Chain A
């Protein structure tokens, strides 16, 4: 069951495997809902929680933005540290609101390493 909080509905995005470093490697990690049938009711999201898992990617950081995949910038939050072979969970972050799809990319990756990322967002609208 999904939950409603004081300002919107909390939903999760998919688990995305980040395989390439830098903005060129940015991938969409949450897609803004589109009300195709209603044609009204613009939606936006605030990031509520970020879960990272580092698959032998070395000590690095992950950046989150709302440019398109492969573009990345502008960034929405400061870099989030990701430690080698460990999970990192971030919540209680600044309630940055995005009206565009959210993308993420690692600052650097060791050869063969990847980072899994999943977002929990508050949908507003």
Chain B
């Protein structure tokens, strides 16, 4: 099995977290879903949201990034960066802070492009319509015309191993017991102290 995992870093583009016919375990808040990837494709860099114009020293409203939602049975793996000079706080899902330390929620700004050129530290996964949300902070003494985020990554279509046509209870038990390999994919943040 290839050495695939989230946050895998290399020069240039990043690796998919699973290949076709690989088993994955989707973690979404407190839920786990055992699935098998049956198709995946790359998603080229695209503008996933414009958080809108920001007044000088302004803090924008938390906004859902609906363009990162996936279709049923699919999850997305994304890295992202802003192209306007605001700090971005990410939430995934909307109520759970991402990049959270005990005393600080670490923001992402344009400096990510040269401090972490592979964007490995921005990697997130999105399960179906469980999309992230973002807030922008303009530290400048001038207004910003917009705060745009660029995302890129992969789209994975999966089949359900726990029920339905592709159900395989024996395999699911083996996956739960770690007797068969599956790649864990965290598709949300995690609340502090949870």
Chain A interface residues (CB < 8 Å from chain B): 1-2, 4-9, 11, 13-14, 31, 33-38, 40-41, 43, 123
Taking a contact as CB atoms closer than 8 A, the residue among A1, A11, A35, A43 that contacts B137 in the complex is: A35
| Cβ–Cβ contact B139 & A33, under 8 A | yes
| Cβ–Cβ contact A2 & B84, under 8 A | yes
Name the segment of B16-24, B105-113, B160-168 touching the other chain.
B105-113
| Cβ–Cβ contact B83 & A9, under 8 A | no
Q: Cβ of B141 < 8 Å from any Cβ of A?
A: yes
Alpha-carbon distance between A7 and B111 when the two chains are bound, in angstroms: 8
Interface of A is mostly: loop
Q: Which residue of A lies closest to B141 (CB)?
A: A31
Chain B interface residues (CB < 8 Å from chain A): 57, 59, 83-85, 87, 104, 107, 109-111, 113-114, 137, 139-142
Knowing A4-B110, A43-B139, say if A11 contacts B87 (CB, 8 Å): no
Alpha-carbon distance between A69 and B70 when the two chains are bound, in angstroms: 52
Q: List 16 A-B contacts (CB under 8 A).
A: A1-B83, A2-B84, A2-B85, A4-B110, A9-B109, A31-B140, A31-B141, A31-B142, A33-B141, A34-B139, A35-B87, A35-B139, A38-B104, A38-B107, A38-B137, A41-B87
Interface of B is mostly: loop
Q: What residues of chain B lie closer than 8 Å to A8, measured between beta carbons? A: 111
Q: Which residue of A lies closest to B139 (CB)?
A: A33
Taking a contact as CB atoms closer than 8 A, the residue among B59, B83, B104, B140 that contacts A33 in the complex is: B140
Q: What residues of chain A lie closer than 8 Å to B107, measured between beta carbons? A: 38
| Cβ–Cβ contact A9 & B137, under 8 A | no
Q: What residues of chain B lie closer than 8 Å to A37, measured between beta carbons? A: 59, 87, 137
Q: What residues of chain B lie closer than 8 Å to A4, measured between beta carbons? A: 110-111, 113-114
- B147 → chain A, closest Cβ, in Å? 11
Alpha-carbon distance between A33 and B139 when the two chains are bound, in angstroms: 5
Q: What residues of chain B lie closer than 8 Å to A34, measured between beta carbons? A: 57, 139, 141
Q: Which residue of B lies closest to A43 (CB)?
A: B139
